[in-house]
Each structure stands twice: as structure tokens, then as C-alpha cells.
Amino acid sequence: MGYYLMTEQLKSRLNVGEAIDQWLGTYEEEGEVIIKWINIFSDKDGYHVLFIESYDEGDEDFVDVVSFSAVDPDGTYGVLNTFDTSEEVITFVMEEYGASADKFVAGGMIQEEYIKYLSTRG
């Protein structure tokens, strides 16, 4: 299996309750670098997507993006949307957040994407 998941792998993972993530990049606001990423997961209530924006508090020795401070303290875990099917949630993240069908990683691998970002950060 490659690093990035193929479309059928996305659906298969979600259908058995495994999460997927995608790095969406960064932007700067008031001198602070903000990182963006999504986490998609499923449970008995449907398919859910969390859109997360947090401050870039990491470095080569601290890559746990899940523990970075949220930009919106009232939305600590991000913006949550729920859908009935895996196809709907994937279409939504591509349209709403500009996600790429070929850049999803297995849940828990978002820190690897952060490490890749750190190597380009200068």
C-alpha cells in the first residue's frame, strides 16, 4: 500500500470505522501561522468530517498537530459536518475545503504530512 490512499481505500476504511486525514496547508493571520487539515471518520450516526485550524506550534521535535492550540477556542475540535454516505463526505471536502482525492492518508498519519511541511518551511 502506498502512502496516499486510493479512492476505494478511502471508502473501505470509512465503511469499517477507520479514519482518514488530509493536510490542507497553511495561512498567516496577524503574524501567526495557521495550519489546516481535515479528519474524516464514521460511526453509527454517519460519516463525519472535522475541519481543523490550529496554530503552528510545532517543530522537528514536536509534530503532534492534534495537540496544537485551536484557532477558535470555542470550536476546539473543529467544524463538524455529518453525511449519510462516504461518497457524500468525500465530495463535500473536495468542494468545500479544496481537498484532493489523491492526498488522503490513514487516520493518525497527519503528523507525517506536518513533517513534510516542516521540511519546506525554511
The pLDDT of residue 75: 67
Convert the pLDDT of each residue in 7-23 to its tens digit. 889 889 999 999 999 99
Convert the pLDDT of each residue in 53-111 to its tens digit. 999 999 999 999 999 999 987 766 778 899 999 999 999 999 999 999 999 999 989 99
Residue entry with cell 488522503: 104
User: H or E element: which one contains 35?
Assistant: strand 32-43
β-strands 105-106, 32-43 pairing: unpaired
- Cβ 107 vs Cβ 21: under 8 Å: yes
- Cβ 100 vs Cβ 22: under 8 Å: yes
Cell of 75: 470550536
The pLDDT of residue 36: 96
Rounded distance between C-alpha atoms, residue 40 and residue 107, angstroms: 8
